[in-house]
Structure 1
């Protein structure tokens, strides 16, 4: 798939998703549920001070990035000591080619995959399929998306959030399901279909939540148990990781793991936390007999040297998506990237460039909520603001946007012009009023008023109101 999920324009993607009422309702429901649960479990962390844990996690991740060469080398050496193989891929193409060639050389017929954002990023699924290899996603949400003609994910943790149970039933019906849209029945059907895939698979591919430098271990965190089956049944296994997904020690990993489930889904922990340490001992009933780790750069080295390097501290919990007011309204596909929400706004242009993603930094109100909830202590809203600055300085914004901002800057920086504008605004908009609000579907305001009410301008300016009260001694 790669990072970009389709070839539609930003406006086309946004318009389509704004008109998807179910998707928008699902985003609201998911955000509210996860955030309520998150608040409850974070209050139980140690002494209850999330900010202290947030700071500590940020220091752990920042330290690893500051010493990335050392820890990557230490990790790679330990993987080899544990009987594994390590491949450093400079880009997505090189990473996918290595895995595909490995599968071809080992005469692999079937691959089972666990959910992984970086494998989406390198586009491995379609490369394997093009090589004649059967690929099966085993995470329930990813399995649904695969059956739905590789529908792209809309959320980093809940990839199929944009689909309702009836849509999922229809997808399953095309693949042999004959029941109703009852979630338990749908899950039972997928479980029965997937169980046989594990025992007949020749290769298992999964991601990496945290790579532990001191031991060469891969940490995998999940709820469904499918990752454990990917790490136990196939004898040939490949872990794919972004080069930044590393911590120095088990203690550092423990800090990040303690925050991950709480921030991602509002739970104290996930059902499964697994450590993979290379090949298994001779005679073991399950586990890898051949183990490979593919460490992906794909632009991360460049990011590491830039003013945006803190974004690489991300632990992929999606807390920023779950709190973002923009994501709440437009959903994940509006970003046209596998990385959506505030993280996607920062990361996608860094990995893919501004040409196709120059609108993303403007999908932000700079409210700062994402920064407040980020367990890795990333100043996300400040990094988004930096993107806005770069776009303005390099004149990469559209001509319309540039002219609009120049006009706004001229008015807002000249008191007499601002006063004139706020004085005439009530008069200009009066013909558009209905029940105290601006009518729907009015010219340039249509994009706003089609989806929500626009308040009327007050007849009395705040400055005039304040001045009159001050003169009368009322302050």
Structure 2
């Protein structure tokens, strides 16, 4: 996927001015947040927080053992009949998938939801080589028909209204006119059923890799994941190396916290553990299963001070809670991962110089940290990236000048008092919203109370002087 993170300010402005997007994202994120809270804390806040503690401990332990667990997983997968490949970067992963497709003479790929394949741009790569790729997750299917990218980690079309989805299906697939959500879903299911039956290649991601059993674990709701991984003769899974966990017991814990955080369910409709290709005596399932472990910068993150970003289980809870995401949607962030986690991962995967604006797309309210199921300290890492932006002299020069000027004024009591009086006078004669560029990029969307002529310090000093004067007056006995 092409990177457009440097355009965040402009794309965010367009999103803010789009009433349909504002309505759709507002409804979608609030609904998801409410469902998350009700599900996670159904048995009490203490129980929900204990689940978060357990999930965080599991991911931390597995991350600390990452190299060893990857080797163990590879050995057990090979023993299960799975062919294991390693891709150091996105291009290598795409080439490996294409080679597999050509070796097995595959021309139609049915694909389930996968952020890793979005990361590598796999769809475009395969299509340029003459292989048709069909997204089978309903949201991803709509996104593909619209020739867009997902705007949310879990809900790809959170930015779409029902009317726009209806119009897309009518235009792109010939669906008869209907306003019924059930009928739209039924039509899409029938349409995709034919693709499932025709596909000779199934492509998926993976929620977890279980090292002790060599299993690929998937959690889905629509059933398309099960179709993709069982109907075609060839199944390829592209999975980030950070998805490794140690035991089935770990998986049992994480499958309780993930759906609660993502969709507000105690358990997803479909929970799979794929242990290899079908055996000779079996009549269904793929004949060939490949798992490609994707690095694509993860090893560098693992050895950096941002390693704590790797436990992310892609639930999307931080997006739903983020006040910035709620008004900009996902496309404004300009790459695969939006929201708070995207503001960290995008600079780490693509270079801070190419996404330096994203760490500033945060109010530092801390809500993302509060809802993260594995307790990632997202605000701390966003601040670290801001510090690094300044240290590497990547920050906006005008902003740097403004900060230095502000610091100089606040270091001098006299200058601070003078600037306060000037500011108060300006506010009286020059409305806050009418300031010129570049200040108006901030002021035209905000209002502040009328500044007083005297600062708190001045008022306090006057109060003290008045008190001292009263204390010096002789006492009069009435």
Q: TM-score scaled to structure 2, two decimals? A: 0.92
Structure 1 gaps of 5+ residues are: none
Deviation at 1:394?
1.0
Rg (Cα) greater in structure: 2
Secondary structure of the 1:9 match is helix
Change (3 A) 1:464 1:75: same
Change (3 A) 1:377 1:8: closer
Change (3 A) 1:415 1:285: farther
**Correspondence for 2:451 among 437, 458, 474:** 458
Change (3 A) 1:426 1:206: same
Moved more, 408-417 or 310-319: 408-417
Deviation at 1:380?
0.6
**Correspondence for 2:156 among 156, 159, 163:** 159
Matched, 1:170 2:167: yes
Match of 1:191 in 2: 189
Deviation at 1:376?
1.1
Secondary structure of the 1:218 match is strand
Secondary structure of the 2:177 match is coil
Moved more, 17-26 or 114-123: 17-26
**Correspondence for 1:205 among 187, 203, 215:** 203
Distance 2:440 2:346 in 1: 29
Moved more, 67-76 or 173-182: 173-182
Distance 1:379 1:205 in 2: 32
Give deviations 1:2-23, integer Å, cap 9, x for gaps.
5x2x487333322222211221
Residue pair 2:5, 2:354 contacting (<8 A) in 1 also:
no
Deviation at 1:468?
6.0
Distance 1:295 1:471 in 2: 72
Residue pair 1:204, 1:237 contacting (<8 A) in 2 also:
yes
Distance 2:233 2:153 in 1: 28
Residue pair 2:110, 2:201 contacting (<8 A) in 1 also:
yes
Deviation at 1:448?
4.0
Deviation at 1:442?
5.7
- Write the mapping of 1:386-425 to structure 2, written as runs, cut at 5 A: 386-425=384-423
Residue pair 1:425, 1:457 contacting (<8 A) in 2 also:
no
Change (3 A) 1:429 1:190: same
Change (3 A) 1:206 1:366: same
Structure 2 gaps of 5+ residues are: 468-478
**Correspondence for 1:447 among 438, 441, 446:** 441
Moved more, 208-217 or 55-64: 55-64
Moved more, 237-246 or 405-414: 405-414
Secondary structure of the 1:389 match is helix
Distance 2:408 2:286 in 1: 64
Change (3 A) 1:329 1:286: same
Residue pair 1:241, 1:296 contacting (<8 A) in 2 also:
yes
CA RMSD of aligned residues (A): 2.1
Deviation at 1:469?
6.5
Change (3 A) 1:444 1:35: same
